[in-house]
A and B are shown apart, each in its own frame.
Chain A
Amino acid sequence: MSSTLAGWLQVLALVGALALCYRPLGDYIAHTLTSKKHLRAEQALYKVIGVDADADQRWPVYLRSVLAFSAVSVLFLYTLIRVQQWLPLGLGVEQMPGHQAWNTAISFVANTNWQSYSGEAAMGHLAQMAGLAVQNFVSAAVGIAVVATLIRGFTRNRTDRLGNFWVDLTRVSVRLLLPVSIVFALALVATGVVQNFHGFHEVATLAGDPQSVPGGAVASQEVIKLLGTNGGGFYNANSAHPFENPTGLSNFLEIFLILVIPFALPRAFGRMVGDNRQGYAIVSVMGLFWVASVALLTLAESHHAGSALQSAGGAMEGKEQRFGIAASSLFAASTTLTSTGAVNSFHDSYTAFGGGLTMFNMMLGEIAPGGVGSGLYGMLVLAIVAVFVAGLMVGRTPEYLGKKLGGREMKFASLYILTTPTLVLVGTGVAMALPGERAGMLNSGAHGFSEVLYAFTSGANNNGSAFAGITVNTDWYDTAIGLAMVFGRFLPMVFVLALAGALAQQQPVPATPGTLPTHKPLFVGLLSGVVLIVVGLTYFPALALGPIAEGLS
């Protein structure tokens, strides 16, 4: 069996597995977000934190809860990282510098997991488990909570009550993320992922050099790293490390975990708005981009000019021999399209177009299928923009799912689509204007520029992966990318929640034959076009100076 065929069979198996999960998981998530009943464990928790679980919040209150929770999380994580060496299970790691700890805390709370440190050298077991892994759970839950609120904006009418953040957060963590994580952590352990409390082992490499590798609770963190589209590796080498991702099977499982919730959320959306076809339309757009990206990336990596690369069967630099081109490309496309940022190969070493594609995937705004929750709300905001333009073309004031898209709605949708490109381009532009920061690049020319562009794209879109050549653990980059991450995560949430508030206040408009149908192939095509054009147009000049210039030379 040729490796190409094997690669496509793997994609097919993955699509099959995801399709199988679409309905049951989506329905389960919808049920979790709409059920009136509380579990006993949840009730106990609500009592401890003093929350009236049946009191719904207005959107500003919901937003304040999100921001307060995240601020406290940052503070807690920062403190934990700074003091871990005096706490148990510290493994004797050195204290992390302030700017790096700040960057790391923000990165994990913002569901980005950008790592300007090396996992095994900078983090003890306690910080990994009680700090990073916990944030992997709750930051993912926050994303789903926010999208649940946006969906409620569509389903609720003439109200300012949009749900209770604490209930959403708790339910998603307890009913969804925890159980799935436990099952798949065991599966990962079965494939050989480590799970222990060992300290550093001294081992000799093939070349005979000594190396020290720590053990740790890897499988339990690995599973939520992927399931919650976080991406922060236990080890610096992330999912390319054999302790995190030992075999082809574990690799397949990990890609599945990355994609399973983001691809099931449209079903939950369709279910909640009472029209499953709406969910199918959204998931079709997501799937279209994902398939196209996987195909193009595999193509770019396996058909590269140059005799060395051709004799190796493709661009194998930076890829694990265990996984090969197909499984690496599949992983790379999935991780950059989902705001995960875990890697099993090094994007910096990809061909110019391959690397450019991983960047473009993130530039789409992490919406195909995107991060848990954030992917769906990003896609829904773009759907609103598409409906607005297309709705006009059918001769009505545009409406989506019975809600009119007026000035207020378009204001928040516009601000949303404005935020990330501004962060990426301003960040990159400023970095390129500073001679000192330019020196952080490993390469010169177009590829060097791509490294910086990638870093800000990854940060602002909350992906977390990197073109690894660049040196980013400097004051400036830690601060600048930290800011890109925090604004890239929370400003869109502000706009999404405000949008939800505006939608929920409306009285629904009944659908008629004159209403723009948003569940048909035509709309799928239209939305794809809007995504491509709105994003492509914004980033085209920057991409032209990076990967395109490099690839065409």
Chain B
Amino acid sequence: MSSTMTEESERAGKPVPQSEASSAEAPHRVSGGLLDPKLILASLPDAVKKLDPRVMVKNPVMFVVEVGSVVTTVAAIADPSVFAWSITVWLWLTTVFANLAEAVAEGRGKAQADTLRRTKTDTMARRLTDWPRSRAEEEVAGTALRLGDHVVVEAGQIIPGDGDVVEGVASVDESAITGESAPVIRESGGDRSAVTGGTKVLSDRIVVKIASEPGKSFIDRMIALVEGAARQKTPNEIALNILLASLTIVFLVAVVTLQPMATYAGAPQSMIVLVALIVALIPTTIGALLSAIGIAGMDRLVQRNVLAMSGRAVEAAGDVNTLLLDKTGTITLGNRQAAEFRPAEGVGIGDLADAAQLSSLADETPEGRSIVVLAKTEYGLRARAQGELTHATWVPFTAQTRMSGVDLAEADGVHSVRKGAAGSVTNWVTENGGTVGKDVAALVDGISAAGGTPLVVASRTGTAAPRALGVIHLKDVVKEGMRERFDELRRMGIRTVMITGDNPLTARAIAEEAGVDDFLAEATPEDKMALIKKEQAGGKLVAMTGDGTNDAPALAQADVGVAMNTGTMAAKEAGNMVDLDSDPTKLIEIVEIGKQLLITRGALTTFSIANDVAKYFAIIPAMFAAVYPGLDKLNIMQLHSPQSAITSAIIFNALVIVGLIPLALRGVKYRPSDASSLLRRNIGLYGLGGLVVPFVGIKLIDLVVQFVPGLN
């Protein structure tokens, strides 16, 4: 294995910053924010197709509007007038706009699905017929592969199906799925064995055991997900639909029973007006946008390279009470780093730093490099290149010696410096006739007790007894901004638990520094599982990330289980989301997207219901002011005529759907904060806004509509 590959494989386990994956390298990604006008036009045919009543009936609110449109069409044909036809046209537009919202949301997914589909080119597979007994192979179509088949893939070939590497190691280009151009390492055994069909092997040769049936591969599932084909209504969507349906029924009853009352009052209403009143009152805004909100929520995850296997998982993410976060890579940087130099008695700190740097030049591990960097930043010691010191003999760091250093041939004899694990360096000192002072031992114990890793630095001149110069304190470095992030989560009511294999002492120190609420030290998969079950027994929802096969049970048990794409197939199967970037920090974003989805639903429901007040003030006087002139006092918007008033209300109703499509797709603005301030903000914005906006909107439309002949 080449050294670059080692680095690459290290990299695969680490988070890949979002910014690195530029959109040019990720052709299947659709831009997040704004609505593409082209997409609207492209979605129009789909929107019209959705007028099929068999499709519409799934959305009770909009189905009522469609039935109303049919009724007014018939009425307008039977008794044509400008008013009748304007209402009819705008009612049809209302229905189409609602479908358009859904079609646009789906269209964004379809674009992604198409790019994915292109990766599903028909590959030929080299199936091993008698593996592992022999290497005999045959050429078969990729689609002919079955669960448990073994195939061999070499550099330049496309992996024909999902599976696990059972032999060999290779670098694989997964950009077709992740959008990330840097290749990743896949090797047999361990937690990086999963490969995805459609990705390309760049180097070496691997044997893959196929783990999916044809048509059920990861890419197939991705396509189904982003297209919305596998979309089912989520529990909360169902509950909201029930409420909306019942509001629709109430208003239906209110309007149907209004006719005999109106007849008694001497003002029987035309079918057109009654239908207009029903459509104005039922919650069409939210009814029209509800499914688009759900699809867009999944889509926002996809844009962040997270695939949710179900909408239910996205919703659950908003409800999460406890986040289990792996320490390494999520809370701390991947490796421990030198934090300070602690000199022994009688040794200058500059001398210690110099010796430490010198002895670490031959240490290529991240820890070693961090010592060089610390000496440079803290004490201005320039890192000498190894070639600079021609009279030096380098002692590189190895896992066996756990020590690195250098022997310098000076005038007064060989000058040796060593740095390494406390035990190894102590041995080196005593073997060469020296002793490690009590002060150094105390420093070592102190750093250990604080959860850090002590490295001892020792030197020896000529044949004199070596002596310990001091200790380097290595510690986990908490990523920047994590404490603030956790404070934010706490305000949102989410508890964070750090999971680590470290001993409790170390774990506590890091937990305190990072500001997590709790930690699980020396965690085994069983411990993790037990913790999840304990939290869930208390009624809490738990989210976690995982990659290894031994994480699979916990991923399945967690309410939100995010599997890393670098992980094993088993982990990916067990979780209900897959993060293609394999960035465990993303769990926090996932939670926020879940919350944003629910808030968008609530905000638009509130807005929709609050709208009704203004519509009443437009329509009721228009209907009855003729018989009860006093009711004209309710016409506080001073709308021009009964016809213009009703038409304006219906036009507003239709336009507000179009106007809110971008909000539905983007989601309302979400700033993490506690429930009270969120509620205050959203009630102010969407509740009061919903009361006021239609008064203004209807009045403005009326100012235009009043000039239409036949409406004045």
Chain B 485-512 residues near chain A, CB threshold 8 A:
490-495
Is B679 within 8 A of A446, CB to CB?
no
A540→B250 CA distance, assembly (Å): 12
A508→B538 CA distance, assembly (Å): 8
Is A429 within 8 A of B494, CB to CB?
no
Contact of A552 among B258, B598, B613, B628 (CB under 8 A): B628
Interface assignment of A4: CB less than 8 Å from any CB of chain B: no
Nearest opposing residue in chain A for B678, CB measure: A394
Is A428 within 8 A of B261, CB to CB?
yes
A394→B676 CA distance, assembly (Å): 8
Contact of A406 among B236, B262, B606 (CB under 8 A): B236
- Give every chain B residue within 8 A of A418 (Cβ-Cβ): 246, 249-250
- Give every chain A residue within 8 A of B605 (Cβ-Cβ): 389, 392
Q: Among B236, B264, B630, B670, find the residue whose CB has the most chain A CB atoms closer than 10 A.
A: B264
A interface, how many residues as a size bin?
35 or more
A522→B321 CA distance, assembly (Å): 24
Is A538 within 8 A of B599, CB to CB?
no
Distance in Å: Cβ of B210 to nearest Cβ of chain A: 39
Interface assignment of B263: CB less than 8 Å from any CB of chain A: yes
Is A405 within 8 A of B239, CB to CB?
yes
Is B599 within 8 A of A415, CB to CB?
no
Nearest opposing residue in chain A for B321, CB measure: A512
Is A429 within 8 A of B610, CB to CB?
no
Interface assignment of B136: CB less than 8 Å from any CB of chain A: no
Contact of B264 among A413, A449, A508, A512 (CB under 8 A): A449
Interface assignment of A127: CB less than 8 Å from any CB of chain B: no
Is B239 within 8 A of A406, CB to CB?
yes
Interface assignment of B683: CB less than 8 Å from any CB of chain A: yes
Interface assignment of B334: CB less than 8 Å from any CB of chain A: no
Is A552 within 8 A of B633, CB to CB?
yes
Is A417 within 8 A of B250, CB to CB?
yes
Distance in Å: Cβ of A319 to nearest Cβ of chain B: 25
Contact of B253 among A395, A396, A406, A421 (CB under 8 A): A421
Nearest opposing residue in chain B for A388, CB measure: B243
- Give every chain A residue within 8 A of B603 (Cβ-Cβ): 392-393
Interface assignment of B17: CB less than 8 Å from any CB of chain A: no
Known: A406-B236, A515-B493, A551-B630. A429 touches B261 (CB 8 A): yes
Chain A, residues 431-473, CB within 8 Å of chain B (1/0): the string is 0110000100000001001000000000000000000000000
Is B261 within 8 A of A393, CB to CB?
no
A402→B260 CA distance, assembly (Å): 45
Contact of A549 among B238, B315, B606, B631 (CB under 8 A): B631
Known: A395-B318, A426-B257, A553-B628. A410 touches B243 (CB 8 A): yes
Distance in Å: Cβ of B282 to nearest Cβ of chain A: 11
Is B239 within 8 A of A516, CB to CB?
no
Is B631 within 8 A of A522, CB to CB?
no
Interface assignment of A61: CB less than 8 Å from any CB of chain B: no
- Give every chain A residue within 8 A of B539 (Cβ-Cβ): 402, 507-510
Known: A389-B605, A393-B599, A545-B262. A429 touches B243 (CB 8 A): no
Chain B 183-236 residues near chain A, CB threshold 8 A:
235-236
Q: Among A410, A413, A514, find the residue whose CB has the most chain B CB atoms closer than 10 A.
A: A514
Is B250 within 8 A of A538, CB to CB?
yes
A46→B249 CA distance, assembly (Å): 44
Is B242 within 8 A of A410, CB to CB?
yes
A551→B494 CA distance, assembly (Å): 54
Interface assignment of A526: CB less than 8 Å from any CB of chain B: yes
Nearest opposing residue in chain B for A553, CB measure: B630
Distance in Å: Cβ of A22 to nearest Cβ of chain B: 26
Distance in Å: Cβ of B495 to nearest Cβ of chain A: 8
Is B253 within 8 A of A426, CB to CB?
yes
Known: A397-B318, A513-B493, A551-B630. A545 touches B624 (CB 8 A): yes
Nearest opposing residue in chain B for A403, CB measure: B539
Known: A397-B235, A544-B620, A549-B630. A449 touches B613 (CB 8 A): no
Distance in Å: Cβ of A476 to nearest Cβ of chain B: 15
A471→B603 CA distance, assembly (Å): 47
Interface assignment of A98: CB less than 8 Å from any CB of chain B: no
A153→B399 CA distance, assembly (Å): 62
Is A522 within 8 A of B256, CB to CB?
no
Interface assignment of A203: CB less than 8 Å from any CB of chain B: no
8 nearest CB pairs, A to B: A514-B493, A392-B602, A512-B493, A552-B630, A395-B595, A429-B257, A414-B246, A393-B602
A-B contact list, 9 entries, CB within 8 Å: A389-B609, A395-B596, A395-B599, A395-B678, A410-B240, A429-B259, A514-B675, A533-B609, A537-B612
The chain B residues found within 8 Å of chain A, CB to CB, are 235-236, 238-240, 242-243, 245-246, 249-251, 253-265, 277, 281, 315, 318-319, 321, 490-495, 538-540, 594-596, 598-599, 601-603, 605-606, 609-610, 612-613, 616, 620, 624, 628-631, 633-634, 670, 674-676, 678-680, 682-683, 686-687
